[in-house]
């Protein structure tokens, strides 16, 4: 039976707005992407001509965690009082995209949240993060704040966000509007089904159709960096080995041909 709160949501616009369910993640691809750092992913995507992949703003709530997963998206929009009036939203939220997207989460998913950098919107708190964890979610990536930080830290769910606030999700200026739709997070377009690589350097979006090429580029890049580190540690000039010159690349190719590369380990 519909409540007054639920009826109010649909008086102006049919919400939550729902997009198509994203394609299932390729488990083997995710496993291989775990070997790629956020820095390498960002650099290799840039070399492919995809320049905006690093999500500016969110940082790791708990340092030392690494996550790779399929992007599931949630979009917040600015509030308008004929839809949510600042008093009843906490009850309305259960009929919004915020609740709906959690039931879409599959094991290993990264929930990517567009909150427009709001400092006063606590997009997630203890209860919702608990539910997300129980659904098998891998990480939360929020272009905004969360609340209940001490309890969220205890849950050991990797979170990248811009900080903390005591507010619940729709208490102030934003409202959960849509899910499984394209989102703009930290200046980066993220499509449902893209891959996210996140570590202490931040979070990088890898377009789904570029993931295999990224892996090939990253493997080659990582191998010559292993060689360059070795030579720099031996006292070689930085300018000759980072990046490789024409001459030192020949030296690297010889080193690799002699079986000293990553594949030989």
Tell me the binding residues for Mg(2+). Answer: 148
Tokens linked to 29: 């691809």
CA dihedral 113, 116, 121, 124 (to 10 degrees): 10
Tokens linked to 252: 């690297």
d(CA 104, CA 50): 28
Binding-site residues from annotation for substrate: 125-128, 147
Residues 6+ apart with CB under 8 A from 96: 9, 15, 16, 170, 175, 176, 177
d(CA 238, CA 250): 16
Binding-site residues from annotation: 125-128, 147-148
Tokens linked to 225: 């960096």
Provide the sign of the torsion angle of the four alpha carbons 41, 43, 47, 52, taken in this order. positive
Beta-strand relationship, 145-146 and 163-164: parallel
What number of helices (H) and strands (E) belong to the chain? Answer: 10, 13
């Amino acid at each position: 039976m519909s409540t007054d709160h639920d009826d109010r949501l649909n008086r102006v616009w049919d919400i939550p707005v729902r997009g198509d369910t994203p394609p299932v993640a390729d488990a083997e691809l995710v496993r291989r992407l775990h070997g790629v750092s956020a820095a390498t992913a960002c650099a290799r995507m840039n070399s492919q001509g995809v320049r905006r992949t690093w999500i500016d703003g969110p940082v790791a709530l708990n340092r030392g965690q690494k996550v790779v997963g399929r992007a599931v998206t949630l979009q917040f929009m600015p509030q308008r009082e004929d839809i949510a009036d600042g008093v009843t939203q906490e009850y309305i939220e259960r009929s919004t995209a915020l609740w709906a997207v959690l039931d879409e989460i599959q094991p290993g998913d990264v929930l990517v949240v567009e909150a427009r950098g709001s400092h006063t919107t606590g997009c997630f708190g203890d209860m919702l993060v608990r539910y997300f964890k129980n659904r098998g979610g891998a990480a939360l990536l929020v272009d905004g704040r969360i609340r209940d930080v001490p309890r969220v830290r205890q849950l050991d769910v990797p979170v990248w966000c811009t900080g903390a606030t005591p507010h619940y999700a729709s208490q102030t200026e934003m409202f959960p509007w849509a899910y499984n739709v394209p989102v703009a997070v930290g200046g980066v377009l993220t499509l449902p089904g893209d891959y996210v690589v996140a570590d202490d350097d931040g979070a990088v979006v890898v377009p789904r159709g570029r993931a295999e090429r990224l892996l090939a580029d990253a493997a080659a890049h990582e191998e010559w960096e292993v060689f360059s580190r070795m030579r720099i540690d031996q006292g070689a000039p930085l300018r000759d080995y980072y990046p490789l010159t024409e001459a030192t690349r020949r030296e690297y190719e010889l080193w690799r041909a002699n079986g000293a590369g990553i594949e030989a380990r």
